[in-house]
Amino acid sequence: MWLKPVPSCFSMLKPYCSATPPPPTTLKFITAMKTTEEPDVGIFCYISQLPGFRGILKQRYSDFMVNEVDAEGNVVHLTNLDAPAETVKEIETKTHDATSKDYTTEIESFRSLVDPDDAERLEAIINLINSGSEDSILPIVLSPDYDKSHRTAVHNFFKENFKFLVTDTVDGPDASSKCIRVRINSGGQNSRGRNSRKRKERGDKPFDSRGSDDWSENVGKFLRFHLYKENKDTQEALGIIGKMLGVQPRSFGFAGTKDKRAVTTQRVTVFKQLASRLAALNDRLIGIKVGDFCYVKEGLVLGQLMGNRFTITLRGVVADSEDTIKASAIALGKQGFINYFGLQRFGSGSVPTHLIGATLLRGEWKSTVSLFLDPREGDILLMLLGTLRQLPRHLVSEKAILQCLKKCPGNYLQALKAIPRTLRMMYVHSYQSYLWNHAASMRVQKYGTDRVVLGDLVYCKGNETEKVSEVVRSECVDENGNDTLDPIDLDDISGTNLPEERLNLVKAVTAEDILSGNYTIDDVVLPMPGSRVILPENDIADVFHDLAKKDAISLTESVHNVKEFSITSMTGSYRRVFQKPMDFEWEILKYIDANKPLVDTDFDKIAKTKPSSLNGDGRLHDKTKQSECLDNDVGLQTDDNGAKAKGEELPQAESLCDTNPQETQTALKLSFTLPASCYATMAIRELLKTSTSVSFHKTLN
């Protein structure tokens, strides 16, 4: 149910906020845009009018710690690296009878069939077998193969030449690729392998290649563990663990992704794996640790969390006085912040995700593909680089599109559908977020932050359900009822709203409600556009229609019949306009050595109890990691922040590596919990009164 649009609402904006609204999301605007700034996506208001102060977020990635909060409200920590006494027994069999043969000829033939690196991997595994070390051999995964007939030839080659090995096909790094996995045939040389046994020989149990098919009936099929990682994103960390275990990515389950430039701890489940196997990886893992193992009946899925606990250290703090810092911290705890979707919601590339979402909603398939593939400043020149195999793995959408166009030239819609579903839906959700941010700014601009006004939307209280005109879940779901979670929301958000809010009902505030005082400013919500949400019954409703109309998008009817790229086919959701940090704590610290951590991580705490088992200084060393010194090459787009007092320039921060080690500096340590879907950077923005954009933060270094 949508209200009828009226003439533009932006003429009503007053000079209260920090910036004016940007132009509409047209292709002309895209070509001129280099980096996304907060006003471009509707972020230009604050709650308090206190002055900001200078502070550097993530000068070291260990200054940003994130601990997941599970659905029961427990903060997830890494406390123990040891595996418990195993109650699970796998059936072990001798795997081969091939230690005496020379396979040089077969390997050379294999080299002509596959990538040279794959031949080297095969030779290495055969050498291990011949040395009698088969018990420690892990499966190998060959390079991505897009040709089914070629994969068949490789499978047949192994059947004919390496009967002590067995192969199967697993998912590749992107949607349209597959990889061949090679592992020891545990059934022996003359057998097709235990995994190829007839179903009746397995007790009528289907083989699941995610883990062992021999598993005790009385033990949960999923191993749950706590994943601790430094300066790595969730997929990267699990990819490393998966390769070591020889399992597919789909074997792992988790409630939410955590960002790279941070120290994070979260729960993960893996299907049918022994705790002892994972615990044994700790000695080999770099920048990653696993622990706190237990077996459970169900695996984790996205959204199964209450939120995140943040421990954030702002370094290099400069303010008029400590009283300024204290006043700002107290105000953040009491008043909270505007619950904007942060810049990370809109991507880090030259073309923000909401602009791509707008072209999808207009049904401009070819234009959308061009946005992905046209060379643009700061991005890899995709069309000039060469083959698909040369594309970096993180360019998932680009690779999927090119692979499809290679097979079906000119079929741009099909190419867009080749992008993994959660990723392609993220672009449409990003446009919804763009509209929501602008509406939130208008709500603050016009009506302030201290009272409920006539026509505001609120979650119902008490016995008011009969007065509600529409019922909707407060998370994004599609018409099939499937959760549509956003993979770009990383460590300082969690993909869905709080579970207890999902079935809450929404109504428009009446004059009677205002007189009764039943509702406060904390109850106010705004909709994410969709077919089953209502708009505020005041002029804030006009923001949605006005902005969409400028982008040639209708919120009430679709110009094409592709439901997943249509707002009218999406249910919609609601989001609180204001959010207060929970269990909020803060502390002003003094330090001299800028290279010294100011807060212990989970691993630091373990290291203090078991120093002999760790590296020399008790730290989790990563030989390949980037320096913790912040430089211009570090990916700051997800949640980096700088500091500038409102309306004035402050002194530039020195590089961490150049800081005078004898100079006493000030830091502000913040600890707080946010519910799922909230952005910690928006809380820091309210505190410092500064932009969170990459371009601004680079000026501090």
Catalytic residue ranges: 259
Do 101 and 190 contact (CB within 8 A), yes or no?
A: no
Q: Which helix (H) or strand (E) covers residue 463, if one does?
A: none
Residue 129 phi, psi dihedral angles, 5° rounding:
-60, -45
Phi, psi for residue 258 in degrees, rounded to 5: -115, 145
Long-range interactions of 462-471: CB distance < 8 A, separation 24+? 462/518, 464/505, 464/507, 465/505, 467/507, 468/505, 468/506, 468/507, 469/1, 469/507, 469/508, 469/534, 470/1, 470/506, 470/532, 470/533, 470/534, 471/505, 471/532
- Measured in whole angstroms, the distance separating CA 570 from the mean position of its chain's CA atoms is 22
φ/ψ of 524, rounded to 5, equals -70, 135
Q: What are the backbone angles phi and psi of residue 109, rounded to the nearest 5°?
A: -65, -40
Helix (H/G/I), strand (E/B), else coil: 401: helix
Alpha helices by DSSP H, listed for 281-335, are: 322-335
Grouping H, G, I as helix, E, B as strand and the rest as coil, residue 599 is coil
The Cα–Cα gap between 122 and 182 comes to 8
446 and 11 in contact (C-beta within 8 Å)? no
Nearest one of 536, 403, 564 to 479, comparing CA atoms: 564
Q: 616 phi and psi, to 5 degrees?
A: -40, -50
* Closest listed residue to residue 497, CA positions, set 468, 464, 542, 459: 459
Residue with tokens 């593909």: 369
User: In angstroms, how far is CA 387 from the centroid of its own chain?
Assistant: 28
Q: Write the DSSP assignment of 514-531 as a string of letters.
A: HHHT---GGGEEEEEP-T
**What residue type is 596 in one-letter code?**
K
